[in-house]
Amino acid sequence: KGVDLEGNKLEYEAGEIYFGEPGTNGQHSFYQLLHQGRVVPAEFIGFQKNQNPITLEGEEVSNQDELMSNFFAQPDALAFGKTKEELKKEGVSETLIPHKTFQGNRPSTMLLLPECNPYYLGMLLSLYENRVATEGFIWGINSFDQWGVELGKVLAKDIRRVLSLSRQGKKPDTSHLCSPTQRLLQKYLSA
């Protein structure tokens, strides 16, 4: 959000972004940012009971236990990091030390729920809805207005019209669109 309830520009950052991925997938896509990039609070959600218990032959633990190993380990890694001294004791080469040093002190929360079912998913939704509402009250913003989304919908309606006319073999006017969008639309329609 950029303005408060009265339309005044905010002097601080407000709002959160929620995204995620199962543990072992997420660590290769964005955990690196959490460990060594900007400080971003992270929330880890785990379930005690597995919906599809699978243990592959020859593996020491089930797929669930593999995910949960990361569920417990990643918040610890974020919290405590790894110092240069620890890396030196482990015999890590000097050239790798800057890359493998983690400052720690990264904020995270862990939620361990009994199982993934409609009841507990409803609890999670309620938690996040209440969190968003409370933050809005604190920041003096309307957490639930959709003006930015509305702009995207208006623009999408116009592009939908352009696509429809193009599919009918007509040449719609696209001069009002920015040049990158014009080029990408042409490329999209050429397939």
Kindly state the percentage of the chain with pLDDT values over 70: 99
Q: What would the pLDDT profile of 7-47 be if each residue is shown by its tens digit?
A: 999 998 887 777 778 767 777 778 888 888 889 899 999 99
Kindly state the percentage of the chain with pLDDT values over 90: 65
DSSP state string for 98-141 = HHH-B-----EEEEEES--SHHHHHHHHHHHHHHHHHHHHHHTS
Residue 91 has pLDDT above 80, yes or no: yes
Q: What is the architecture of the domain spanning 23-139? A: 3-Layer(aba) Sandwich (3.40)
What mean pLDDT do residues 160-178 have?
94
pLDDT at residue 181, as a whole number: 94
Q: Return the closest-CA partner of residue 41 out of 115, 135, 116.
A: 135
pLDDT band at 58 (very low <50, low <70, confident <90, very high): confident
pLDDT at residue 16, as a whole number: 79
pLDDT at residue 25, as a whole number: 78
- As a whole number, the mean pLDDT across the chain is 90
Environment class of residue 167 by beta-carbon count within 10 Å: exposed (0-12), middle (13-18) or buried (19+)?
exposed
Q: What would the pLDDT profile of 107-153 be if each residue is shown by its tens digit?
A: 999 999 999 999 999 999 999 999 999 999 999 999 888 887 888 89
pLDDT at residue 22, as a whole number: 75
